[in-house]
Chain A
Amino acid sequence: MQEITRDTLISRAKELLASGEVDRVYGWKRGEFCYDVTPALFTDAESLEKDFEWGDFCGANLSKYLVEETRKSEGKILVFMKPCDTYSFNQLLTEHRFDREKVYVIGTPCAGMLDPKRIRDHAESFTSVVSDENGVTVSTLFDGDVKLDRSEVMPDRCLNCKSKKHVAYDELFGEDGGTIASGRFDEVEKIEKMTPDERFEFWRGELSRCIRCNACRDVCPACTCEKCVFDNPNSGVENKAAENSFEEQMFHIIRAFHVAGRCTDCGECSRVCPQQIPLHLLNRKFIKDIDGFYGEYQAGAEVGSRAPLVDYTTEDIEPSDAVKGGDENA
């Protein structure tokens, strides 16, 4: 079995560019440090060689860029996707957000990404990160090297990875994995078991930090609206900044509701939140409820599946029975 490296990806991308199969490549570009990798478009072999990056910090989900990028020309785009990205890819296809024919997907293996925020918890002013089977070695400016367990510096979304399976690809690098029974609902359950007062305090504490930078929305592959209701002065709910706790709640409830049944749980929202609000716990609540009320449903698992909120059965649970908080069983 061939080892998949940055070079594997670059040489295949160069081949596809050279053959004319694709005319541009969406990938990741290295930056100043080991971790500040930027999603970027490459159009020639030279820049690929020079700047293309593939590694522990290529966490950004590239599927959303395809909505705009595919509209720009008739040419085909090569895009690299981790297993979780492919779910977003499929969900976007289900919603007719881009033309599948214009994209060439290479599935790349993923051992879980690393989270610079969590690395900083252990190592201040770090300059390089080397990871192998034995763990992660972080070099710092003033404190020498720090050795860490991979699990100590992986983001929650990777620790609770739901699937190593690529649900969409034209070509696959490495062996495909399967779905994983993760403990991703444990945190949600913990919150559910709190009393309503505790839950309220918990969320007020979290949401009060929101600065409405819209990073969660703008990075979210399910938030691809041509015009977001929160940006639209005619929508009646537009606002630029949360003036008080109500507006914080409003934004996050409506956003979570709009992606309910469509969110693939890719975890980008929590990754990008500058205030480290665990936004994925809102989305996961909906996912957990949907699974519980209407049967297991994984958004993006297959193209064309009917999202739970555009579906119904005559025997669905009543709203009054749906609300089962923790206070009864606490």
Chain B
Amino acid sequence: MQRIGVFVCHCGTNIAGTVDVAAVSEALKNEPGVVYSTNYQYMCSQAGQDIIKNAIAEHGLTGIVVCSCSPRMHEATFRKTAAAAGLNSYMVEIANIREQCSWVHKDMKTGTEKAIILGKAAVAKVNLNAPLTPGESPVTKRALVIGGGIAGIQTALDIADAGFPVDIVETKPTIGGKMAQLDKTFPTLDCAACILTPKMVDVAQNDKIRIFSYSEVTDVKGFVGNFDVTIKRRARYVKEDVCTGCGACTEKCPQKKIPNEFNLGMDNRRAIYIPFAQAVPKVATIDLDHCNMLKNGKCGVCAKVCAAGAIDYNAKDEYIEEKYGAIVAATGFNPISMDKFDEFAYSQSKDVITSLEFERLTNAAGPTGGKLLRPSDGEHPRTIVFVQCVGSRCDSCAQKGKEYCSKICCMYTAKHAMLTRDKYPDTDVYVFYIDVRTPGKNFDEFYRRAVEEYGVHYIKGMVGKVSPEGGKLMVQASDLIDNKQLRIEADLVVLAAAIEPDRSARPLATMLTASMDTNDFFTEAHPKLRPVESPTAGVFLSGTCQGPKDIPETVAQAGAAASKVIGLLAKDKLMGNPCVAHSDENMCNGCSTCENVCPYGAITYEEKEFRMPDRTTRIRRVARVNEAVCQGCGCCTVACMSGAMNLKGFKNEQILAEVDAICR
């Protein structure tokens, strides 16, 4: 029989406001096994924890129940408290009487009744708890960063700086990501390339970092400290270690009319190409879909002009398998498609562009060599209209865009408007906004400069319609302050498209068993306290794959993720989750049903000798759980007909006891 202590937390008025905490602790006093029951203002406080520790010592408690907030909040806290008092941490159960009781029920009577029942369930469970000891597993001292944008680059550099090897996997032929496509950066207006490319070079030159560009992760197995990852290296038909990046091939290739992704299709590239001059690795890549040689064996020009002999038309996709201790997701973002916003005529006119396209149009390395020219006729635009919040902050019932604020648009639009007025003072620039959001260091000052120094016309109101009319764009919008409808004849319309997570994130999350929100952003382990960790142990989040953010925030998060990774890799051993499956070999049929449903391959079989009741011996096949691999989902326990398989910490008996207590 256990000696159980019950500790009911008031959580200020959070619980005590709707639950009669004294009545709860009094009622639970009578439950079988309970020898001590009390309540206190804040159980998680030092004083509260001391109450628990003292009671454990004083009453010789063998198990404790804390009726408080969600176990997702403070289970770990109270487990530590118990451990500090010499009680096994797994002899602690939490009755969630805040999130799942006091906060959702208004009536004191029903709230109290329910709190008592939840407490009884927890007591019933603790009565059947057994001390558990976590197993240990070694840590592979190597990290994987998925995504080679500024987030991935910074994370990799920081990890490598601490002395651990890091691999970056990037789907594009070069690292650099979105930042490489930008012209200037707000609010300082320094050139993106000038601050990014040195970091790219650092990555290339760091002997701790390997870059797998033009590659993707195809399989992830294992668990924290021990991931087995399969990386597909797509054939680029150019030997990376031989190519000098001289670019001769990219000038001679006869296939010239391929839309250049790097410039968002605003100019063309060849079938063999280097995305941009500062690409890392600076090697050419052959585009399989457009190369004549690869498609029908007729060409071979690049091989002829390559002095280094780097071209290899027979290259195949390669798969490499590597072990990692930690994985960082840094898959980044993309602007959303403008398909559902046809009122802005994006599909009808070349002169309606997205802000990222505008970046390329103003970039010295872009399709116009940095001159702001209309895509349709190459003329200077005299009137430019910027539209903010295109697809951001939409209501879900409108089913068009995203519900969230994309965060970066206000600032880059101010930047675009300012730069335009700076370079071309003869241009009229209008910015239609719903709200201008500038919380950030020097952000509002930047926006005010655009208005005050550069004379950008900021208009509170939204563009309702853009219609191409005779080579111009008729922009119809409302000015809410002046309460009038405007019609502006514009030469160029720039849409601040909402951003969304990269499409590769969803399948990656599935492979990593990392959770995502409905918008496909990775979920953090805790929104405030663990913002750079995924709930899946060993998986960390860097950059916009977790939510919209600008460059400084991304770099900060990248560093934070790196430090978490370093913290993990610095350990020699990891303590596992002791709530793992366990097979009772006396009952095991050896039928492999559990093995078939185990997502981790944690179950193996062995032939074991048993003494039979008639004193003979028999050999039987029985299951064995690898506790380091088991993650404790419990799928096997239900698949197992005989009930030989049980889950420590969530045993059949424990759950049944909870059911009984609730239904009593």
**Does a CB–CB distance below 8 Å link A and B in the complex?**
yes
Between-chain CB contacts (< 8 Å), 25 pairs? A71-B620, A72-B616, A72-B618, A95-B591, A96-B591, A96-B592, A96-B605, A97-B589, A97-B590, A97-B591, A224-B589, A225-B587, A225-B641, A226-B589, A226-B620, A227-B643, A228-B642, A229-B641, A229-B643, A234-B653, A235-B652, A307-B593, A307-B596, A310-B596, A311-B596
Q: A71-B620, A96-B621, A234-B653 are in contact. Are A310 and B589 (CB under 8 A)?
A: no
The chain B residue with its CB closest to the CB of A258 is B641
B639 to A309, Cβ gap below 8 A? yes
Whether the Cβ atoms of A310 and B597 lie closer than 8 Å is yes
Whether B619 lies near A95 (C-beta < 8 A) is no
Among B593, B619, B644, B653, chain A packs the most CB atoms within 10 A around the CB of B593
Which residues does chain B contribute within 8 Å of A236, judged by CB atoms? Answer: 652-653, 656
Q: Is A120 an interface residue (CB 8 A)?
A: no
What are the residues of chain B within 8 A of A96 when measuring CB–CB?
590-592, 605, 621
A305–B545 alpha-carbon span in the complex (Å)? 40
Contact check: which of A72, A232, A309 meets B643 at CB < 8 Å? Answer: A232
CB neighbours of A71 from chain B (8 A):
618-620
Is A306 an interface residue, CB under 8 A from the partner?
A: yes
Interface flag for B586 (CB, 8 Å): yes
Q: A236-B656, A310-B596 are in contact. Are A225 and B639 (CB under 8 A)?
A: no
Chain B residues near A228: list those with CB within 8 A.
642
A320 to B474, CA, bound (A): 52
Specify which of B593, B597, B642 is in contact with A229 (CB 8 Å cutoff). Answer: B642
Are B589 and A225 neighbours in the complex by a CB distance under 8 Å?
A: yes
Q: Are B589 and A95 in contact (CB under 8 A)?
A: yes
Q: Does B588 contact A (CB under 8 A)?
A: yes
Are A226 and B588 also in contact (CB < 8 A) when A71-B619, A306-B596 are? yes
A238, closest chain B residue (CB): B643
Hey, which bits of chain B sit against chain A, CB under 8 A?
586-593, 596-597, 605, 616, 618-621, 639, 641-644, 652-653, 656
Chain B hits for A229, CB < 8 A: 641-643
B619 touches A227 (CB 8 A): no
Distance between Cα atoms of A247 and B452 in the complex (Å): 81
Flag if A310 contacts B639 (CB, 8 Å): yes
Residue ID in chain B nearest A236 by CB atoms: B656
Query: In chain A between 261 and 310, which residues have their CB closer than 8 angstroms to a CB of chain B?
Result: 306-307, 309-310
Which of A225, A226, A234 has the most CB atoms of chain B within a 10 A radius of its CB? A226
- A15 to B11 Cα, complex, angstroms: 83
Q: Which residue of A lies closest to B585 (CB)?
A: A226
Shortest distance from the beta carbon of A224 to any chain B beta carbon, whole Å: 7
A76-113: which have CB < 8 Å to B?
A: 95-97
Q: State the Cβ distance, B43 to closest chain A Cβ, in Å.
A: 31
CB distance from B599 to the nearest CB of A (A): 11
Query: Which of A224, A307, A310 has the largest count of B CB atoms less than 10 A from its CB?
Result: A310
Most A CB contacts (10 A, CB to CB) among B587, B596, B597, B653 go to B587
**Which 7 A-B pairs have CB atoms at the shortest separation, nearest pair first?**
A95-B591, A225-B642, A310-B596, A258-B641, A236-B656, A227-B587, A229-B643
Of the candidates A224, A227, A310, which one forms a contact with B593 in the assembled complex, judged by CB atoms under 8 Å apart? Answer: A310
Q: Which residues of B contact A234 (CB under 8 A)?
A: 653
Closest residue to B594 on the A side, CB-wise?
A: A310
Kindly list chain B residues whose C-beta atoms are within 8 Å of the C-beta of A224: 589
Interface residues of A in 201-260 (CB under 8 A from B): 224-229, 232, 234-236, 258-259
The chain A residue sitting closest to B618, CB to CB, is A71
Chain B, Cβ-Cβ closest to A225 = B642
User: In the docked arrangement, what's the CA distance between A309 and B591, Å?
Assistant: 14
Chain A residue contacts of B639, Cβ below 8 A: 309-310
Instruction: Please name all residues of chain A whose beta carbon is closer than 8 Å to the beta carbon of B590 when the two chains form the complex.
Output: 95-97
Question: Given A97-B590, A306-B596, 19 other A-B contacts at CB below 8 A?
Answer: A71-B620, A72-B616, A95-B590, A95-B591, A95-B592, A95-B593, A96-B592, A96-B605, A225-B642, A226-B586, A226-B644, A227-B587, A227-B643, A229-B642, A232-B643, A235-B643, A236-B652, A236-B656, A259-B641
Task: Kindly state the separation between the CA atoms of A225 and B644 in the bound complex, as whole angstroms.
Answer: 10
Which residue on A lies nearest to B636, using beta carbons? A310
**Chain B positions within 8 Å of A225 at CB level:** 587, 589, 641-642
How distant is the Cα of A226 from the Cα of B620 in the complex, in angstroms?
A: 10
A238 to B587, CA, bound (A): 14
Q: A225-B641, A227-B642 are in contact. Are A232 and B589 (CB under 8 A)?
A: no
- Complexed CA–CA distance, A309 and B594 (Å): 11
The smallest C-beta distance from A74 to any residue of chain B, in angstroms, reads 11
Minimum CB–CB distance from B612 to chain A (whole Å) comes to 9
A154 to B616: give the CA distance in the assembly, Å: 42
Alpha-carbon separation in the docked complex, A195 to B621 (Å) = 46
